[in-house]
Structure 1
Amino acid sequence: MEDNPSKPISQHTKAQRVILFPLPFQGHMNPMLQLANILHSRSFTISILYHQYNSPDPSKYPHFSFHLIPGGLSEDQADKDDPLHLVRLLNTDCIRPTRDCLGKLLSTHDDTACIIMDAMMYSSQAVAEDLGIPRITLRTSSVCSFLAMATLPVLRDKGYFSMIDYRREDPVLELPPLKVKDIQAIRIENLNDTLKIVSNMLEGTKTASGLIFNTFQDLEEPNLANLYEQIRTPTFLLGPFHRFFSAASSSLLAQDRSCISWLDTQKPNSVLYVSFGSLAAMDENNVREVAWGLSNSMQPFLLVVRPGLVQGSEWLEFLPNEFLEVTGKRGCIVKWAPQQEVLSHPAVGGFWTHSGWNSVLESICEGVPMICSSFLGDQMVNSRYINDVWRLGIKLECGFERDEIESAIRKIMLDREGQDIREKLVCLKKKMDLSSKTDGFFGPIAKRFI
């Protein structure tokens, strides 16, 4: 990555408008809107393209102009239980209305410098080339998970997705530190379709004018040489975005702030915060194991139970009555929480997470050790790196078993292991602060493209 220039970004520029297009999932929309806020704070005019499905609330961003894509993805079209199906729709059926909307916007704004699109919108590269506008991609995951995705076709050809000739605990020699079980957990029902989407995403990234990661060098430096070998696209590590602008305003779910008042009554570093993100799905048996693991640990907890976490449930009816009786005031349960504020609260001493990248970065920035589960996509890679490489948390290797859950909670919250992780996080945070102090933080990308 290039050195930051000393003068502010606006002094490098002539064109002052940037058009951004987020993927309509919370984990993708949050960092894109944070990036938009950062660019706006550095004197850029911001336009946001969006679909009707999972649309952002323009009233929360009066300083942006919003442009609905007519004929784009609607609530009726969306299959909320199949994110990959939505990605396919966005890159096939929705690409013509996207092109028409973008073309109209460009025709009325000749000050546009570039478009920034989610990397999963791979078909937009052809649209950008047709319209003669530079396209920069935003990859909302970690560098290590990006490299893992790039290697999936090789692993498929070598048989890692079948049990033949491999034990689940065996290492993946082509992709350390991953294990066979991590790779097999990434498997989607239709593997070939998944790999086709991955291949298209990689090709769209390689042909883009630039690539942005929401990460920072001190965390992922060992992977950067490998990244630069595979991707010749100019690459910029500009995160974590949320340190500049919170994700609270872009949340697609209503936040229950009563949990903050409850945290105010708890002792410092005593509460385990538990949230499995906006897309995870669990069965009732796993949720019961989660409940009894929390109960048996005897630690205070703040538990997020999103409606739909268990398919067909309204909210808490699948939790054992005995669990609610035993834990009593020791636990607080909400449908959704203001996560960044929760993690920064002095009462929170640990975070049991689904290992989504936004959650991982927020936990690192607030110095909170993690317990890692994983459900889909990049989460398997993130959790393995957290446990084996970065040593910033504990991965639950057995899935959801109450004894392992109880043990992990006690290690993180009470034992020396948790304290060692906190000390490591303090050192990492200091390095991260130094990397983003200069006024020219966004200078490299502005100097090259804008």
Structure 2
Amino acid sequence: MALVTDTDSGLVAETNTKGKSYVLPFMLIVSLFFLWGMAHNLDSILIPHLRKACQLKNWQSTLIDTSVFMAYFLMAIPAGILLKKFGYKSSIIIGLSLFALGAFLFVPAANTLNYAVFLGALFIIGCGLATLETAANPYATVLGDPAGATTRINLAAAFNGLATIAGPYLGTLFILSGKEYSKEQLAAMATDERAHYLMGEAASVKMPYIVLGCVLIAVALLFKFSNLPEIKNTSKEPTTGGSFIGVLRHRHLLWAVIAQFFYVGAQVCVTSFFIRMARQGGHFDEKTAGTYLSWLYGGLFVTGRFAGTFLLKYVKSNILLSIYAVVAILLCLVAILGDGSYVIYALGGVGFFMSIMFPTIFALGVDGLGDDTKPGSSWIIMSIVGGAILPVIMGLIIDKNNDNVQSGYIIPLLCFVVILYFGLNGYKIKKQLITT
């Protein structure tokens, strides 16, 4: 047997000496990146849609984000335990099964028009996504020549980025109805007519999520009956890495955790209220707003990833991060103070300049950690809980300001200020903050 090794992680994939092809296993892994990208980007459609169908306040609609991202936070350690006990293939199948279960639960949620059931379904989806990401990211790095590990993970991430376009587009096409009534218009409706309208809005989510659930089951079966290579850990380093709490003595890591918390919060805030912003600030109808979320924001986000990757060859990562943060702050100001279609073009531009922030903050945060890299990485991943908290605060601000969606964009603006500080100063490797 020959071993294909990721020298950084110590993971290896067994293959025969004749050179077994990893094309099919890698294609299956790439499909996971796309599928969890679809789940996240459909949430941007669900937030305005379920707000309408379930008659929610803005902050209540953001509990969709809270359910998914809190599941990530709470599932981080259990997912690692599953991976250690059952291995990569079984963990992926478990993650797909949880994902599918959550998707199918959209049917009883819609039938009963029960928002709590929707949130429960989304929490289960989040648990499935956390499990998938825990297993699929390292798996993608070892399926082939070690020298191509970075290329493989970036290729897989590109398909995740494509879901930024596909998710909102399909959600707009099959979920959004384009019909919305004011509170006064709903109050003037007969009881049966109003109930029929709201149930019809809720029902539109059923078929897309049934199809998604069936696709997930089919992919799970492909993994079940595929002959995937075994993954083993041959690292001579201690499997626990450094101290989980003590790792925060690294000042630049602590700031990376803070910056990532605010970055994820900013991204989720921007997309969660994009459609409502397009309707209120840009004066677009619902369907057009969804199309702009897909092709303008999603397209610029994907373009930004490729452009940023190119620019990072010539510009220091912290400098590029700082420049992007400054531009994002200015674009948020345009979104807050402007009126008309250029408000939405500004938010689309924010997507472009956010595109490199997550991987750049991550890389700067773990730089120079040595044996503390593994626990340091865990802290940065757990900081995505910002996506569960900050959108709720944004929703409360909007509700406080008489449903003025533009006022809420002060939250992502402040997030980018924190990221700017990290790019200018927080990333620097300095003396340890605490001792263990």
TM-score relative to the length of structure 2: 0.25
Greater relative CO (CA pairs within 8 A, separation 6+) = 2
Q: Specify which structure has the higher proportion of helix.
A: 2
Q: Specify which structure has the higher proportion of strand.
A: 1
